[in-house]
Amino acid sequence: MAVKYNADGNTFILETRDTSYLMKVSRYGNLLHLYYGERIPDENLDYLIQVCDRGFSPNPNEAGNDRTFSLDYLAQEYSTDGKGDYRIPSIEVVNGDGSQIFSGKVSGYRIYKGKYALEGMPSLKAASRDTVDTLEIELRDKESGGTVILFYSVFEEKNIVTRTVRFVNNGSEAIRLEKLASVTMDFKDSDYDFIVFAGRHTMEREFTRIPVQSGVHSVGSSRGASSHQYNPFAIVCDGGAGEDHGRCFGYSLVYSGNFAIEAEKDQFKQLRINAGINPQDFSWTVNPGEQFQAPEAVLAFSGEGFARLSHLYHDIYRENLCRSPYAKKPRPVVINSWEAAYFDFDDTKLLGIAKQAVDMGVDLFVLDDGWFGKRDDDNSGLGDWKVNLKKLKRGISGLSEEIHALGLQFGIWIEPEMVSEDSELFRAHPDWCLKAPGRPMTRGRNQLVLDLSRQDVCDYLIEAVNGILHEAKIEYVKWDMNRSISDVWSGLLDAGRQGETLHRYILGLYHVMDEVILKHPEVIFCGCAGGGGRFDPAMLFYQPQIWCSDNTDAKNRLKIQYGTSFAYPINTIESHVSVCPNHQTGRYTPLKTRGIVSMDGILGYELDSTKLSEEEKAVCREQVKFYKKNYRLIAEGDYYRLASPYENPYFTAWQHVSKDKKKSLVSLVLTDKEGNDAQRYVKLKGLDREAMYRIEGQKGRYSGALLMNAGLPVPYELDEYESVSFCLRRI
């Protein structure tokens, strides 16, 4: 099995094909972390636990006069609270007597085949051919009865370990949780970099590398969604690690709400990582006999740099996360009406765009915002999910019929979680919003947030959205969320339980998606939150693709998609060709470049097709044809970042390689051009060193070793923002 218990050493051993994870029960019952990394022989690692008398580091009562044993410096698997470990804790509680102490000692364990399941929250699932074993370890606080159950599922062949935590109140008094991390990992050293993916609306997931310094560095979200500002994914790596070398540890949280990832370099130059629900604005009362479940964390280790780490996450998320049958199917090429028409449209205008899109080779027409209620701008109508017959004379069903008659599929935009004050829904149910009594409301995009912690609100949304899907033939839905959450207060929770609201909101959202998205497997759902504000694994559980960013500028997208690719598969990134000058930046980039950048994801179009010339439509047809020809390679191949937009000022390049190394697609965008420029080269990756390859459409043959070591010249004739993309085949 991939999970073993060594009774002689009181040690738990988790093994994947290439990694080992070891922990040990101390002589006093504490669960200590020993090792996680490259697979090692089954040896006694007790020598790694070095104990000594540390000044001002207290000793637990059970240690008696042994002043060498202190939780203040020992590497723990899940830390205590209030018992002499002064580093960032895994758990924070308020017990019935007001004390803030949790001292969890190992009180039991079990090992079994298969993957644990989480009720009401997304998590990975074992595929039919996977070998997965699970370990549960119980840590009980004897005095309060509070119990932490640590879950570990080991995907042996995929080199993945998932972790989660369940808190159970086995005592006689209520316990209030104020923090419950999904994962804690202690390192015995700290010579690492901490990599996070920061940003803002229209510039999400920017690669940010920080050398670990003394103190605490924390990133996360308090906005009610995983956010544009930070992503629930981080890497701890060797200081010199790069794409192809160095140790890298990945931490990915399967959660769509407020989260925190913390890194602390302590007084003894050790590193602790915590990841879980953000303790800010969080509390949860667990009554006797009740329990609380934390989200899942997905851990991966690479001893061969970032590319290998990305491949591990790409493979597990492609195969073991998304429930949509479209996760394994080619996606249609869509054209979206937003940047083509915004709110200013009627049947005639939409059909004109759709007719021209047919000539571009597009498969599906998406009607974006503005088709429902009194919705002529973004100040009204949200919540009223009834078609606006002034704009669509024959309604959604009539428009759908006409779109299908053209040979296209049909999709729509919705924003179920929000409501406008100028709406029938708000006038009927003002209490359905998140807003504190007696306080003025905070608006975002002039809209309010529905309280999805309430069952009646969830029931309304389930009925309303399902009603739309039953009204017409709809093959695609863009599910949006266009503001951060504030004024958090729920009318159905007592004053002492308002800290539960935001997590209950997320559980309500998952429930709605269970009843809408999972009940319509024939529909492609595309996630969106003002673009990439909720690009997280939990959303991929429901939606096979996510609108990567509201920024459609091809040059900016190089950075956005670069950062996204570290954890997320390329076939989850929806990316569209838009017009020039770009609506966000005003920049001009060639149509060819916009297409190549968009094909580094799921190709689509975000423009008014009626304004394209015949020559431009011909270019689009060729893009679609090329994309469909290479879809499997793009969607399922291994992905390599060849030149970083952060480190290489001259060009950005990337590569897709089929699993059998027979085929590869290389793409490059020139981002800076100098007078009398130097000749530059791009070195390929992932090829068979011994095999010979031919570039399609060119003469010559090259060994994989040559292409990866000497590289290929960047075409000298390329101008700034121009691009090239070519396929290689093994011969």
Question: Which residues have a catalytic role annotated?
Answer: 480, 550
Best CA proximity match to 311, nearest among 569, 487, 58, 123: 569
Residue 523 has what DSSP assignment? S
Q: Is 533 helix (H, G, I), strand (E, B) or coil?
A: coil
E strand or H helix at 589, and its extent? none
Cα-based distances in Å from 343 to 370, 372, 375: 5, 11, 8
3-state secondary structure of 401: helix
Q: How many residues does the chain have?
A: 731
CA distance 120 to 508: 9
Checking DSSP bridges between strand 160-169 and strand 296-302, what pairing results, if any? Answer: antiparallel
Q: What HEC string does 677-697 produce?
A: CCCCEECCCCCCCCCEEEECC
Closest CA to 132 of 363, 395, 320, 377: 320
Classify strands 723-730 and 702-703 as parallel, antiparallel or unpaired.
unpaired
Cα 477 from Cα 464, distance rounded (Å) = 14
Integer angstrom CA distances of residue 181 from 76, 253, 442, 463, 504 = 13, 10, 30, 35, 17
Angle between helices 591-598 and 554-564 (to 10 degrees): 10
Residue closest to 528 by CA, chosen among 477, 470, 453: 477
Instruction: Find out whether the peptide bond into 211 is cis, omega within 30 degrees of 0.
Output: no
Q: Compute, in degrees rounded to 10, the torsion defined by CA atoms 467, 471, 474, 476.
A: -20
Closest CA to 579 of 561, 553, 617, 559: 553
Within a 10 A sphere around the Cβ of 125, how many other Cβ atoms?
Answer: 15
Tokens linked to 405: 């008659």
**At a CB cut-off of 8 Å and minimum separation 6, what does 432 contact?**
419, 425, 426, 450, 451, 454, 456, 457, 460
CA–CA distances in Å: residue 441 to residues 384, 433, 480, 533: 21, 10, 22, 22
Q: What are phi and psi of 514, to 5 degrees?
A: -60, -40
Q: Which of 581, 625, 618 is nearest to 599 (CA)?
A: 625
CB 308 within 8 A of CB 552: no
Task: Kindly state the tokens that stand for 710.
Answer: 């000497």
The amino acid at 153:
S
Do the Cβ atoms of 466 and 519 come closer than 8 Å? Answer: yes
Beta-carbon contacts of residue 638 (< 8 Å; ≥ 6 apart):
307, 311, 314, 656, 657, 658, 659, 686
Over 404-442, what HEC string results?
Answer: HHCCCEEEEEECCCEECCECHHHHHCHHHECCCCCCCCC
Q: Say which amino acid occupies 8.
A: D
Helix (H, G, I), strand (E, B) or coil at 532: strand
Comparing C-alpha atoms, which of 561, 554, 628 is closest to residue 592? Answer: 554
CA separation for the pair 417, 414 (Å, rounded): 9
Cα 410 to chain centroid distance, Å, stands at 27
Residue pair 115/126 in contact by the 8 Å Cβ criterion: yes
What is the spatial distance between Cα 213 and Cα 696, in angstroms, rounded to a whole number? 49
Structure tokens at 175: 């316990």
Cα 70–chain centre separation = 37
